[in-house]
């Protein structure tokens, strides 16, 4: 990858095989305005084409992401909102969901509304003690969007998902850990180092297998057992023929660890 793109609302930093994407509207709690929605779509498209191995998502300042910027939609009519969601919001969210790289959300502060669902779209979530989480759409008389109604029940269970979404309740970091919304809670100054530690561990795993596992797991709720078995038949057979598989088996049998440089 020759160089990282530049954006108005995102900061991109690369360290080895890990790319950190920082939402950079701290004065607005990193709410997603129209520019950020478009830039997220462009960024995730670029990441898909890149040779980055792992992605870390975080926020600048005191917030992870407080959802959508209300200034962009309060004056819209229904047809205009429909178009905005279809052509901007859903574009970037689908690209995030379909990224082959593992994505770690490093949640440094409030993650509310669409910001909470941005976090749910990641594969791992590490939260600062200062983090807060809420499906707060109901406070505006809205329903969860950006996949919230799909992801939240699958992560925390149906009853808890309804309780959180119907009430608009905000959970602190330890409640979010108890509910299964996040995987770990750390002190604020440990957030990025711990996320980086997880990322470096993932970089030692074969990228073709990581991408396949993500895809199979993400689609598991849409498939029957028979369809899943058929899918794994083809995916496993393909991966079995890759250099990464052969190297990993050799290292495993030799008692070592490896850091593959290419996919299958």
Residue 147 sits in the same domain as residue 230? no
**Domain containing 216 — which CATH number?**
1.10.12
Instruction: Determine contact, residues 244/262, Cβ cutoff 8 Å.
Output: yes
Distance CA 161, CA 148 (A): 9
Residue 26 sits in the same domain as residue 115? yes
CA 83 to chain centre: 24
pLDDT band at 261 (very low <50, low <70, confident <90, very high): very low
Reported as a single tens digit per residue, the pLDDT across 55-101 is 999 999 999 999 998 888 777 888 988 888 888 889 999 999 999 99
Residue 149 sits in the same domain as residue 237? no
Reported as a single tens digit per residue, the pLDDT across 210-259 is 999 999 999 888 888 888 888 888 888 887 777 777 787 777 777 655 54
Reported as a single tens digit per residue, the pLDDT across 133-165 is 999 999 988 899 999 999 999 999 999 999 999
Residue 37 sits in the same domain as residue 146? yes
pLDDT for res 1: 46
Q: Could you give phi then psi for residue 20, rounded to 5 degrees?
A: -105, 125
In a domain, 100, yes or no: yes
Higher pLDDT, 182 or 222: 182
Domain that holds residue 81: 10-202
CA 162 to chain centre: 22
The whole model's pTM is what? 0.89
**Mean of the per-residue pLDDT values of the chain:** 91
Q: Which residues contact 152 (CB under 8 A, 6 or more apart)?
A: 117, 120, 135, 144, 161, 164, 165
SS3 content of the chain, % helix, strand, coil (to 5): 50, 15, 30
In a domain, 2, yes or no: no
Residue 114 sits in the same domain as residue 149? yes
* Number of domains, the chain: 2
pLDDT band at 54 (very low <50, low <70, confident <90, very high): very high
Residue 192 sits in the same domain as residue 241? no
């Amino acid at each position: 990858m020759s160089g990282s793109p530049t954006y108005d609302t995102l900061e991109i930093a690369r360290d080895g095989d890990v790319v950190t994407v920082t939402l950079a509207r701290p004065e607005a709690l990193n709410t997603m305005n129209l520019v950020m929605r478009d830039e997220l779509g462009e960024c995730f498209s670029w990441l898909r084409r890149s040779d980055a191995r792992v992605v870390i998502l975080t926020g600048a300042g005191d917030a992870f992401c407080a959802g959508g910027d209300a200034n962009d939609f309060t004056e819209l009519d229904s047809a205009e909102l429909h178009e905005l969601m279809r052509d901007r919001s859903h574009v970037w969210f689908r690209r995030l969901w379909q990224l082959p790289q593992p994505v770690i959300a490093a949640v440094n502060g409030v993650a509310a509304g669409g910001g909470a669902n941005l976090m749910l779209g990641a594969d791992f979530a590490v939260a600062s003690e200062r983090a807060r989480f809420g499906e707060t759409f109901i406070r505006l008389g809205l329903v969860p969007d950006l996949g919230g109604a799909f992801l939240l029940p699958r992560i925390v269970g149906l009853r808890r998902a309804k309780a959180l979404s119907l009430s608009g309740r905000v959970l602190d970091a330890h409640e979010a850990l108890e509910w299964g919304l996040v995987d770990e809670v750390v002190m604020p100054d440990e957030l990025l180092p711990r996320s980086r530690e997880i990322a470096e561990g993932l970089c030692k795993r074969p990228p073709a297998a990581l991408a396949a596992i993500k895809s199979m797991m993400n689609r598991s709720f849409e498939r029957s057992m028979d369809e899943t078995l058929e899918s794994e038949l083809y995916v496993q057979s393909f991966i079995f023929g890759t250099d990464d598989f052969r190297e990993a088996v050799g290292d495993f049998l030799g008692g070592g660890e490896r850091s593959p440089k290419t996919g299958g």
